[in-house]
């Protein structure tokens, strides 16, 4: 820094700037001493600080300045220590001068003229100072320096003053190097009072940029803000799913080996009504994966869906993982089932294919066929399914337990069917019997001839056990004789014996008729 730059900086800070008094001759004669004397410890080469200046009192009067000359005869560590002590004392005076600027009365600041206005009567100007620039914050022409008058400086109008939030540094006193000039004092005060309008410094927290990161967003932002394409995908899929559209159902629930025909537009309207809508409550979006949580209203239930999406790379199309919708095992459906959530189903075909039936989360409605054999306590039957469904989860089971009673007609016709089957068996002419309440041990017998069965004791009336859909006919204690001829171990033989009679059969209703199977 040459003499002109050094004096210009002192004038800008409102400090005395007399070349004859304030600029040390030793520094004019030895410019390199300035760099070596005030270079920061460990600093870069070629980077020098401003020479220490004379401190000022709050009233603006110049104070005594210690000599900046090197101590005669002092060399090595002694010279360095002396120079360090002088520097610290001068920096302390400079800090006091900066504080005096920030602590001037507020009233004086309000009465001061606006920076950049032409001097008027009664306005003091420092001797030798040049007019201030017309626009605060704009640098002066090359070779020109400005120095405000001692005392309160002109106030900057609120409309032109840079707005700042409270600095997190508070009023910490420190040192700052700006362009090689050492500034001391409260850091926030230095820049609040500066007329240069400096803003955007590292400690200026006036920026309101969101700190959301480049790769992930969480529930603090709505999904539309996080990823508009994913938001559109979720809206399209969920609108289709809640309307029971086949394409959306296949995309979100289409697991292999699951009967999906109960998830139809008709069942959607029955379960959720006409205006079901999905509302996103939380979301997290990453580069190649995302999770979206939301809910919709179904009847009296809030249903929660946890959706997962993936994509090959950033910018590719989002793909939804399958939702694990609740299921009813076909074997658990009553044989009298005709509809599930208003959709007709063929129970016999489902049981034959052994397919689980996917149903809407929440309350499930199962309609049962009206029959002369059953008096249902409720029809349709309601069952409860899970109210929270996730992508990639395990499907929960729904159990349908209809409550009803078998009618007298069912009991009468079932026992009649068991008796009719018993009498059929008595008329058979073979040793190998099927679907009969008695049997013959014909091991080793071949070529049976003239086989006849005759009842020797009536088995009586059996009785029904079990619940609706799983009844059995049991009981009875009868005797039957068997006779005939055949060959045993290659030799002709006469066949005679007595057989016990015990009922143990199942009964089902098919096409509104009783079907009895002995030993089934």
Summarize pLDDT for 277-317 with one digit per residue, the tens.
899 999 999 999 999 999 998 877 889 999 999 999 988 99
Among 307, 415, 312, 400, CA closest to 357: 400
Give the per-residue pLDDT at 5: 77
Euclidean distance between CA atoms 116 and 131, whole angstroms: 8
Tokens of 293: 């949580």
Residue 88 burial class via C-beta count within 10 angstroms: exposed 0-12, middle 13-18, buried 19 and up: exposed
Yes or no: say if 485 and 492 are a contact pair by the CB < 8 Å rule: yes
List, for the chain, all residue ranges whose pLDDT scores fall below the cut of 50: 26-27, 29, 33-74, 105-219
Euclidean distance between CA atoms 359 and 159, whole angstroms: 65
Euclidean distance between CA atoms 414 and 399, whole angstroms: 27
Tokens of 513: 């008729």
Euclidean distance between CA atoms 57 and 99, whole angstroms: 10
Yes or no: say if 235 and 222 are a contact pair by the CB < 8 Å rule: no
Give the per-residue pLDDT at 23: 58
Yes or no: say if 326 and 397 are a contact pair by the CB < 8 Å rule: yes
- Give 166-171's long-range contacts (Cβ < 8 A, gap of 24+): 167/203, 167/204, 167/205, 168/203, 168/205, 169/203
Q: What is the DSSP letter of 331?
A: G
Euclidean distance between CA atoms 119 and 131, whole angstroms: 8
Bridge partner residues of 364 (DSSP): 383
Residue 306 burial class via C-beta count within 10 angstroms: exposed 0-12, middle 13-18, buried 19 and up: middle
- C-alpha distances (whole Å) from 191 to each of 60, 137, 164, 178, 198 are 20, 12, 10, 12, 7
Domain ranges of the chain: 3-35, 269-314, 324-430, 468-519
Tokens of 112: 């001061």
Provide the b/e sequence for 211-237 (b: ≥16 CB within 10 Å): eeeeeebeeeeebeebbeebbebbeeb
Round the CA-based radius of gyration of the chain to a whole number and report it. Answer: 50
Tokens of 63: 């104070």
Phi, psi of 92 (to 5 degrees): -65, -40
Euclidean distance between CA atoms 191 and 164, whole angstroms: 10
- Give 239-248's long-range contacts (Cβ < 8 A, gap of 24+): 239/277, 239/278, 242/268, 242/272, 242/276, 242/277, 242/278, 242/296, 243/268, 243/276, 244/268, 244/269
Tokens of 237: 């899929």
Euclidean distance between CA atoms 325 and 391, whole angstroms: 9
**Pure H helices in 302-368:** 347-353
Would you tell me how many other CB atoms lie within 10 Å of the CB of residue 289? 14
Bridge partner residues of 383 (DSSP): 364
Asked if the bond preceding 380 is cis, omega within 30° of 0, the reply is: yes
Among 325, 320, 306, CA closest to 258: 325
Q: How far is CA 457 from the centre of its chain?
A: 75
Give the per-residue pLDDT at 520: 59
Angle at the Cα of 310 from the Cα atoms of 309 and 315, rounded to 5 degrees: 115
Give the per-residue pLDDT at 65: 42
Give the per-residue pLDDT at 19: 65
Give the per-residue pLDDT at 90: 74
């Amino acid at each position: 820094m040459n003499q002109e730059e050094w004096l210009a900086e002192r004038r800008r800070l409102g400090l005395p700037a007399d070349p004859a008094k304030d600029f040390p001759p030793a520094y004019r004669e030895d410019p390199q001493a300035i760099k070596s004397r005030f270079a920061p410890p460990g600093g870069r080469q070629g980077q020098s600080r401003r020479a220490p200046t004379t401190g000022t009192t709050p009233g603006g009067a110049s104070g005594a300045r210690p000599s900046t000359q090197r101590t005669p005869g002092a060399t090595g560590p002694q010279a360095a220590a002396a120079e360090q002590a002088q520097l610290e004392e001068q920096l302390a005076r400079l800090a006091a001068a900066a504080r005096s600027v920030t602590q001037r009365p507020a009233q004086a600041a309000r009465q001061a003229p606006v920076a950049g206005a032409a001097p008027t009567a009664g306005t003091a100007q420092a001797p030798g100072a040049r007019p201030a620039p017309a626009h605060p914050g704009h640098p002066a022409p090359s070779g020109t320096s400005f120095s405000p008058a001692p005392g309160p400086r002109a106030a900057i109008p609120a409309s032109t003053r840079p707005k700042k939030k409270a600095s997190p540094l508070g009023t910490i006193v420190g040192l700052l190097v700006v362009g090689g000039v050492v500034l001391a004092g409260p850091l926030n005060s230095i820049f609040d009072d500066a007329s240069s309008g400096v803003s955007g410094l590292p400690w200026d927290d006036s920026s309101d940029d969101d700190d959301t990161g480049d790769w992930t967003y969480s529930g603090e932002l709505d999904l539309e803000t996080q990823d508009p394409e994913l938001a559109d995908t979720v809206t399209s899929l969920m609108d289709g799913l809640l309307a029971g559209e086949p394409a959306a159902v296949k995309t979100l629930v289409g697991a292999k080996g699951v009967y999906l025909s109960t998830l139809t537009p008709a069942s959607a309207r029955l379960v959720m009504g006409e205006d079901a809508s999905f509302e996103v409550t939380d979301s997290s979006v990453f580069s190649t994966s995302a999770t979206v949580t939301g809910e919709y209203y179904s009847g009296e239930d809030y249903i929660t869906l946890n959706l997962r999406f993936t994509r090959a790379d950033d910018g590719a199309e989002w793909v939804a993982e399958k939702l694990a919708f609740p299921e009813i095992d076909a074997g658990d459906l009553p044989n009298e089932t005709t509809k599930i959530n208003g959709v007709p189903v063929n129970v016999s075909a489902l049981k034959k294919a052994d397919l689980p039936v996917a149903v809407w989360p929440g309350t499930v409605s199962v309609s049962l066929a009206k029959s002369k054999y059953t008096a249902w306590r409720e029809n349709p039957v309601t069952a409860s399914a899970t109210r929270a469904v996730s992508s990639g989860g395990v499907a929960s089971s729904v159990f349908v337990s209809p409550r009803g009673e078998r009618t007298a007609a069912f009991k009468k016709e079932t026992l009649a069917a068991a008796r009719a089957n018993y009498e059929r068996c008595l008329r058979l002419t073979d040793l190998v019997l099927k679907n009969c309440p008695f049997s013959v041990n014909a091991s080793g017998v071949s070529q049976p001839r003239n086989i006849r069965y005759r009842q020797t004791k009536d088995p009586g009336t059996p009785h029904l056990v079990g619940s609706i859909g799983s009844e059995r006919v049991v009981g009875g204690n009868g005797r039957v004789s068997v006779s005939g001829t055949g060959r045993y171990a290659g030799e002709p033989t006469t066949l005679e014996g007595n057989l016990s009679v015990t009922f143990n059969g199942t009964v089902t209703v098919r096409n509104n008729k009783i079907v009895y199977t002995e030993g089934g």
